[in-house]
Amino acid sequence: MKVIGLILLAILAVLAVLLLIALIRTMALPSKVSAYKAPEADERAMDYAHKLSEMIQCDTTSYDSIRDDEKFERFHRLLEKLFPLVHEKLEKTDIDGNLLFYWKGKKHDRPIVLMSHQDVVPAEGKWIHEPFSGDIADGKVWGRGASDTKCSVFGFFQAVEELLKEGITPEQDIYLSSSCTEEWAGDGCPKIVAELKRRGVKPWLVCDEGGGIITDPVGGVPGNFAMVGVFEKGKADVRFTAKSTGGHASAPKKGSPIARLAAFVNSVETHDPFAKKMSPEVRSMFEKLAPYAGFPLKLVFSNLWLFGPLLSAAMPAISAQGAAMLKTTIAFTMQSGSDAYNVMPQEASLGANMRFIPHQGKDESLAIIRKRAEKYNLQMEVFHAVDVSKATDIHGEPFAYVTERIKETFPELPVSPYVMTGATDARFYQDICASIVRFAPVIYGPEQMAGMHGLNENIEYNCLPGCVDFYKNMILKAK
């Protein structure tokens, strides 16, 4: 017993020393405040708001595998009206409604692609301002696509328009890329990439939507932060099916299809089959955010060597977004069964959306969930499976280039790497480009985040000048 007591005392002493080291390191780390806010709206911001409003009024809703040439031709005519010099001076390629503009630079060894999509998701429900009104009210431009992502399309077109007006010729080749199928992961962007491949173009840097200037990115970390996406999780749609012989509901049998599906869902929800692991990019994110957090989180974020496992376990309570950066996720989204209350179904199904993480990619994650489904005698089908994208080197020159452009455009705005839990067109570029960042240079507060793919989408138009200036700097500082 004495030996056990001594061992316990030694363990406690070691823990006390480790905690003391962590406390000293935390207290030595200067506390910081994210002070960046977009300037008050001026005449320039209002002019930009009117242009974006016109773009929103042009309905570019896209649907899976349905082409609507007239809809996007109408939008293209509007772009030509709003940005005449871009259309006069740049080489335009239209591939089934997907746009690629080429601005020839003085050099061609480090081309840059600025991209975002034209299409928007359907607008349903009751809105404060009609979804395609483009209303300008309360300091915001309202409507579907305002934040996702006609603001970015406007930003880089306006940047090029203004630079052309000044007679600028860029040092490096610049490409503007905009698909009309992004919202349903269609073939628009792959067609653009195929065209660039045909031309032998290998971009040095691609900048798409995805991250942005996010307000309060993690609970307990207040303020605006430039969250720069460096890779995307993979994804798949999955259907689980349970079968039986059916029967009358007056004499139900055990293990019915719905009961088995329910047990399966409960099993996954209560005993998560996927492993949590902190990637180098996520670790860097927490370390970058540490000085801006309150003391408890600052202690944890700045000492991941000690508290990493604790943070991984606690993250779901802190932030669902943060938790999704640590593991493969599965969200159950669709269900079907019998068509009558008094009939036991012969077949019931459950739909789910999965998002894969690098340490458990597509094949491993699907194998894990298939094994769990088989335990409940469920069949599993996989649709639209895409693996995790390659990560951009957060220590490389292209990432540093983007960081520098952010800092010079948005003074006092902290910059952090970020993991995209959603999907963008950017992943299609990884065949021809090693450095892809996902960053839309506009402010996404809680209201804007809720409006994307939801009700009352809007963007605060005082952030539009910064959006344009960021793209200008991306073009002007290329060497």
Average pLDDT over residues 279-292: 94
Do 352 and 339 fall into the same domain?
Answer: yes
Among candidate residues 369, 386, 403, the one where a domain is terminated: 386
| 329 has a pLDDT exceeding 70 | yes
Average pLDDT over residues 212-231: 94
Among candidate residues 364, 386, 408, the one where a domain is terminated: 386
Do 339 and 310 fall into the same domain?
Answer: yes
Average pLDDT over residues 62-88: 95
- pLDDT, tens digit (0-9, with 9 covering 90-100), for 156-206: 999 999 999 999 999 999 999 999 999 998 999 999 999 999 999 999 999
Q: 354 - beta bridge partners?
A: 236, 330
Confidence of residue 268 (pLDDT cuts 50, 70, 90): very high
37, part of any domain: no
Residue 122 in tokens: 């359907």
Range of the domain at 69: 43-232+389-476
pLDDT at 316: 79
**Maximum average pLDDT range among 112-116, 302-306, 421-425:** 112-116
25, part of any domain: no
13, part of any domain: no
pLDDT at 9: 73
Do 105 and 182 fall into the same domain?
Answer: yes
- pLDDT, tens digit (0-9, with 9 covering 90-100), for 198-208: 999 999 999 99
pLDDT at 1: 63
| 437 has a pLDDT exceeding 90 | yes
Gap between the Cα atoms of 342 and 345, Å rounded: 10
| 42 has a pLDDT exceeding 90 | yes
Among candidate residues 337, 358, 386, the one where a domain is terminated: 386
Do 151 and 73 fall into the same domain?
Answer: yes
Question: Which one, of 422, 358, 364, 361, lies nearest residue 392 by Cα?
Answer: 358
> 100 and 162 in contact (C-beta within 8 Å)?
no
Q: What percent of the chain has pLDDT over 90?
A: 83
| 462 has a pLDDT exceeding 90 | yes
Do 49 and 198 fall into the same domain?
Answer: yes
Do 344 and 398 fall into the same domain?
Answer: no
Do 266 and 380 fall into the same domain?
Answer: yes
Question: Distances in Å between the alpha carbon of 221 and those of 29, 183, 266, 410?
Answer: 16, 30, 32, 19
Do 151 and 76 fall into the same domain?
Answer: yes
Average pLDDT over residues 87-111: 98
- pLDDT, tens digit (0-9, with 9 covering 90-100), for 10-36: 777 777 888 888 889 999 999 999 999
Do 153 and 122 fall into the same domain?
Answer: yes
CATH of the domain at 223: 3.40.630.10
| 47 has a pLDDT exceeding 90 | yes
Q: In whole numbers, what is the pLDDT of the chain averaged over residues? A: 94
Average pLDDT over residues 370-397: 96
Number of domains comprising the chain: 2
Do 346 and 407 fall into the same domain?
Answer: no
Gap between the Cα atoms of 378 and 370, Å rounded: 9
Do 379 and 393 fall into the same domain?
Answer: no
21, part of any domain: no
| 247 has a pLDDT exceeding 80 | no
| 313 has a pLDDT exceeding 80 | yes
Which residues are CB-contacts of 213 (< 8 A; sequence separation ≥ 6)?
36, 224, 225, 226, 227, 410, 413, 441, 442, 443, 444, 463
Do 394 and 347 fall into the same domain?
Answer: no
Gap between the Cα atoms of 335 and 65, Å rounded: 23
Confidence of residue 423 (pLDDT cuts 50, 70, 90): confident
Average pLDDT over residues 321-346: 91
| 409 has a pLDDT exceeding 80 | yes
Is the bond preceding residue 421 a cis peptide, omega within 30 degrees? no
CATH of the domain at 280: 3.30.70.360
149, part of any domain: yes
